[in-house]
Structure 1
């Protein structure tokens, strides 16, 4: 197995780098240059993420002035709270494998102003350029940027939202697409039981949403139901589709790297949209059939253990050089064991719950 990783060298003027470090929440990017494979690119740089901004190892958002291998924007994730470094990639690849639109990812070695920063996970930005690269129809894209994106009229604190599209940020599209998103939230909450199936099927690709739900339930991303996703409105079908984002707190860990029990989230999941859909027999049947197929084919130790081991093998030669990783080979072997054990235990748990679903 080839364990070579691409090297990215970013240079930021020391004055600009100092300004970036002094205000980790800065919204105005600084100018920089990225060099890789003997090519240089002008790029704007910002920190990204929420809790990660105050950590030693930062994550970065890179916006290119010209095309970067077909992309205009990429994200370099530190994966600082996930000792394994693989949970995010394992999740996004798993979603892609079960048929859910998901950003591509790959590992790189990052230098900043000549100083090695360690192993990073490069993520595609879910935007109009990704759609073009995948040969998908153009469409609007909204990111769920906080937990107000819970498909409800109320915040998680049970206060009335300021707007129907609270919790979302439009990445691409028009104000008309914002109105369509508001229509989705309105219909989820206020359509009558008799009208709901016809209305929701005219706004949402329900089958794809249920497939995404299978992925969230299997990987057990607690935040994934109310944020950590993007909505893509396909301009050809005029239906919303859903895509995962930021899945490091998965496979038996939370976003802070703490352990979560394999039965922490039930097969029903949660959020208002999921609850409404699963009230209807035809949607429950569709979800059950999709879950049964994934539990018997893709979400099994037999299928996923080689994937996990390949990722650990890929990163093994580079871990000791990462200045922010302080762990032994035995620690990483234990991480791999925990992930495989989680898959086995959660598969058994969900299979048992399906019997009474």
Structure 2
């Protein structure tokens, strides 16, 4: 179903006893049995809460595994995001579509209307799971997929919170697809990032990382100003054909002028150089610094502009507007929802101007 035309309705049914079990511990990742009806088809599923700070919010997000049949048009598992803290409900969807325009692998995202045991829960954003089927649908070679599980996924030896040495070079990561050798390969990369001289790093990094795609991803994170995007909120795809890692964005609600709590984040909060140890090492090399500047200059003239993005923002807002007034968690925030497109477009204009002003800092 095309997002631009209508929203699909998802009806969840959970046995009252299983629902009590689900609600008894919001921090549990254990799934309970349930059913999902979409149109005339009923799916047997397993459902659990998902997210970190979002689990304490009134409107919960869900992770769903399909058991009978074992697959669904969105995959064998999907994520239903409540987007409760984003007053626009647009930021995740807008971000993933923006990254696609930059040539970066990104999950598909579509809005759906969700009810639970007959009670309307409101608008949710369905996110595609990043797994082997994600690769297959895109005709990509199979390979490893590693999630940046928490903020220790910063390509450093140090824990960003304590500044202590990590217990493991794989700290912060979770293997989604692959084996022990794939974990070792990433640990090897982290070790080299933190120990090699500039000369040796310049030679070695091309054997581990798709540099151009990393710099395109970097441009996307810097433009959207995802504060957490450098140390989590991404997945690594190890392309078995090239032997190189590519970055995949994830959880981009804290963007476009607001943080992950929905609070205002000024357009100049995050520097043009980005963050994390890998980015710093790459931008220390004149050739990659020039490449990054060239990419950003192009993006700031084409895709990260109010002219390019305003029609997309307006279209998404128009799509959701009729349903917001019925969403029990958003209907009282209608005025703020209606003001968000203007706020986001203003952020894009100011952020674009800020980044153009600071392009000179990327001159080798």
Equivalent residue number for residue 306 of structure 1 = 311
Displacement after TM superposition at 1:4 (Å): 2.0
Pairwise mapping of residues 1-357 of structure 1 onto structure 2 (< 5 A)?
A: 3-65=5-67, 66-69=70-73, 71-156=75-160, 157-327=162-332, 329-357=334-362
Residues 24-49 of structure 1: CA deviation (Å, up to 9, x unaligned)? 11122111111102111111111000
Question: Residue 328 and residue 182 in structure 1: after superposition, are their counterparts in 2 closer, same or farther (change >3 A)?
Answer: closer
Q: Is the 8 A contact 1:3 1:315 kept in 2?
A: no
1:160 CA drift (Å): 0.5
**2-structure distance, mates of 1:73, 1:198:** 39
Cα distance in structure 1, aligned partners of 2:338 and 2:262: 16
Q: Number of aligned pairs?
A: 357
Q: CA contact under 8 A between 1:3 and 1:317: conserved in structure 2?
A: no
Distance 2:109 2:54 in 1: 19
Separation (CA, whole Å) in 2 of partners of 1:141 and 1:278: 25
What is the root-mean-square deviation in Å for CA atoms of aligned residues? 1.1
Cα separation, partners in 2 of 1:267 and 1:40, compared to 1, 3 Å: same
Q: Give the TM-score normalised by structure 2.
A: 0.96
Q: Does structure 2 conserve the Cα–Cα contact (< 8 Å) formed by 1:150 and 1:225?
A: yes
Unaligned 5+ segments in structure 1 are none
Q: Is the 8 A contact 1:103 1:125 kept in 2?
A: yes
Task: Find runs of 4+ consecutive structure 1 residues off by over 6 angstroms.
Answer: none
Q: Distance in 2 between matches of 1:309 and 1:2?
A: 11
Give, in angstroms, the shift of residue 333 of structure 1.
2.8
Note the alpha carbon deviations across 1:2-26, whole angstroms, 9 max, x for none.
5521000111111111011010111
Q: Residues of 2 paired with 1:13 and 1:277: CA distance?
A: 52
The verdict on how the C-alpha distance between 1:310 and 1:153 changes in structure 2, with shifts beyond 3 A counting, is same
Structure 2: gaps (5+ residues): none
Which stretch shifts more, 345-354 or 330-339?
A: 330-339
Give the C-alpha shift of residue 128 in structure 1.
0.5
Aligned residues of 2:92 and 2:253 also touching (Cα < 8 A) = yes
Cα offset, 1:240, TM superposition: 0.8
1:270–1:2 Cα change, 3 Å: closer
Instruction: State the shift of 1:328 in Å.
Output: 5.3
Partner Cα distance (1:111, 1:160) in 2 = 46
- Give the 3 Å change call, closer, same or farther, for CA 328–78 of structure 1 in structure 2: closer
Instruction: Tell me by how many angstroms 1:329 deviates.
Output: 4.5
Alpha-carbon distance between aligned partners in 2 of 1:182 and 1:356, rounded to the nearest angstrom: 31
